[in-house]
Amino acid sequence: MRYGIAIFPSKTLQDIANSYRKRYDSHYAKIPPHLTLKESFHTTEEEIRQHVKYLRDAAANAKPFPLEVYKFSSFYPVTNTIYLKVKENEILTELQKRLNSGPFAQEAKYSFVPHITIGQNLESAECADVYSRLKLEAIHHTETADRFSLLYQLENGTWTVYETFLLGGAEND
Amino acid sequence: MRYGIAIFPSKTLQDIANSYRKRYDSHYAKIPPHLTLKESFHTTEEEIRQHVKYLRDAAANAKPFPLEVYKFSSFYPVTNTIYLKVKENEILTELQKRLNSGPFAQEAKYSFVPHITIGQNLESAECADVYSRLKLEAIHHTETADRFSLLYQLENGTWTVYETFLLGGAEND
């Protein structure tokens, strides 16, 4: 099975992201807006069950942190992706590292750039055009991220949440 | 915000359900296949945060139970809905009751019939036609349900998981 780990931001931020995604993101109908913590990987349900404690510990060892979106950005021309850039944060960086280590070690295709995708698989011309307009727009939104989700992919390409993990202390809010 | 509570079955069962849903279910792109434990309801994030402990306790007081799908059925002509019928189970019944009591009390439109919808909002003629064919087909699938999810709805009608709750003891598996 194919799994992935992501943070789903608040409804407010997801609605903002979706207002762009519905036009520009080929994955719009597959998964809600998210910040990817771990790229999709193949493993068995049995393996996941064995290592879910590692994820609980990673969550418990982190703390809720400010998730701050502060501008539009793009990976173009590496990939034709447009995203909301998320401010780097030590807790987030450390969490992402843990979720790609130990039993979840995975070769990284790219270095970690925290972001929420709003457009992908666009034609190069459209990507350049849309991004040239969006980068002139202001966006600023801060909220508290206090959880992440482990997901698996169905045969039709959509994703289902297997389990949410609350960052240390969030449970006692 | 609009919330709901559901059980997402295994990938296997979701893939089976989706093979029908893609043709017959108007909500196919809005939410993965699920067993509804609590109909959608309006409340605030603040209220949810205050009462999430009630949901954790409801989960802790339940136990993983066999989720057994054993036939196709329909609510037609009350609603033009076709579903996979889920065998009644004391743990499931009790859990559903708790999730509709206390701070989550809600007037029930219908009595609880555990099911996984595979078709809805069909024209009456199509509903009758599809159901007359499906009810001749055999289906039998049993698995263990060990969690439920609290979800909220985005502006575009899709649902995001807010938190998963493991049924008593599941965490130690």
- Grouping H, G, I as helix, E, B as strand and the rest as coil, residue B42 is strand
CB contact under 8 A, B8 and A161: yes
Is residue A170 very low, low, confident or very high in pLDDT (cuts 50, 70, 90)? low
Is there a catalytic annotation at residue B34? yes
Give the chain B residue nearest A157 (alpha carbons): B15
Say if CB A104 and CB A38 are below 8 A apart. Answer: yes
C-alpha closest to that of B160 among B30, B21, B56, B51: B30
Cβ-Cβ contacts under 8 Å, A13 against chain B: none
pLDDT of residue A169: 66
Task: Measure B160 CA to nearest chain A CA, in Å.
Answer: 7
Report the percent of chain A where pLDDT is more than 90: 94
Task: Measure A51 CA to nearest chain B CA, in Å.
Answer: 11
List chain B pLDDT tens, one digit each, 173 residues.
Answer: 999 999 999 999 999 999 999 999 999 999 999 999 999 999 999 999 999 999 999 999 999 999 999 999 999 989 999 999 999 999 999 999 999 999 999 888 789 999 999 999 999 999 999 999 999 999 999 999 999 999 999 999 999 999 999 999 666 55
**Average pLDDT score over residue span A124-152:** 96
Using alpha carbons, list the distances in angstroms from residue B13 to A35, A151, B33, B48: 28, 16, 8, 29
* CATH code at B2-167: 3.90.1140.10
pLDDT of residue B118: 98
Q: What is the pLDDT of residues B122-136, one digit of tens each?
A: 999 999 999 999 999
CB contact under 8 A, B11 and A149: no
The number of beta carbons lying within 10 Å of the beta carbon of residue A97 is 12
Domain boundaries, chain A: 2-167
C-alpha–C-alpha distance, residues B17 and B33, integer Å: 6
pLDDT of residue A172: 56
**Average pLDDT score over residue span A122-136:** 95
pLDDT of residue B106: 87
CB contact under 8 A, A173 and B22: no
Q: DSSP label at A102?
A: G
Which among A22, A156, A161 has CB closest to B18? A156
Interface test with B, best of A12, A46, A156 (most B CBs within 10 A): A156
Q: Which residue has the tokens 């965490």?
A: B171
Is there a catalytic annotation at residue B141? no
The number of beta carbons lying within 10 Å of the beta carbon of residue B109 is 6
- Grouping H, G, I as helix, E, B as strand and the rest as coil, residue A41 is strand
Residue B119, beta-bridge partner list:
B82
pLDDT of residue B87: 98
- A-B C-beta contacts closer than 8 Å: 54
Handedness of CA A102, A54, A94, A89 (dihedral sign): positive
Q: Where are the alpha helices (DSSP H) in chain A?
A: 11-24, 45-60, 90-98, 124-134
C-alpha–C-alpha distance, residues A121 and A79, integer Å: 8
Element (H, E) at A70: strand A65-74
The number of beta carbons lying within 10 Å of the beta carbon of residue A78 is 8
Question: Is residue A173 over pLDDT 60?
Answer: no
pLDDT of residue B171: 67
pLDDT of residue B114: 98
Q: How large is the ipTM?
A: 0.94
C-alpha–C-alpha distance, residues A170 and A152, integer Å: 24
Q: What is the pLDDT of residues A2-14, one digit of tens each?
A: 999 999 999 999 9
pLDDT of residue A62: 97
Q: What radius of gyration, in Å, describes the C-alpha atoms of chain A?
A: 16
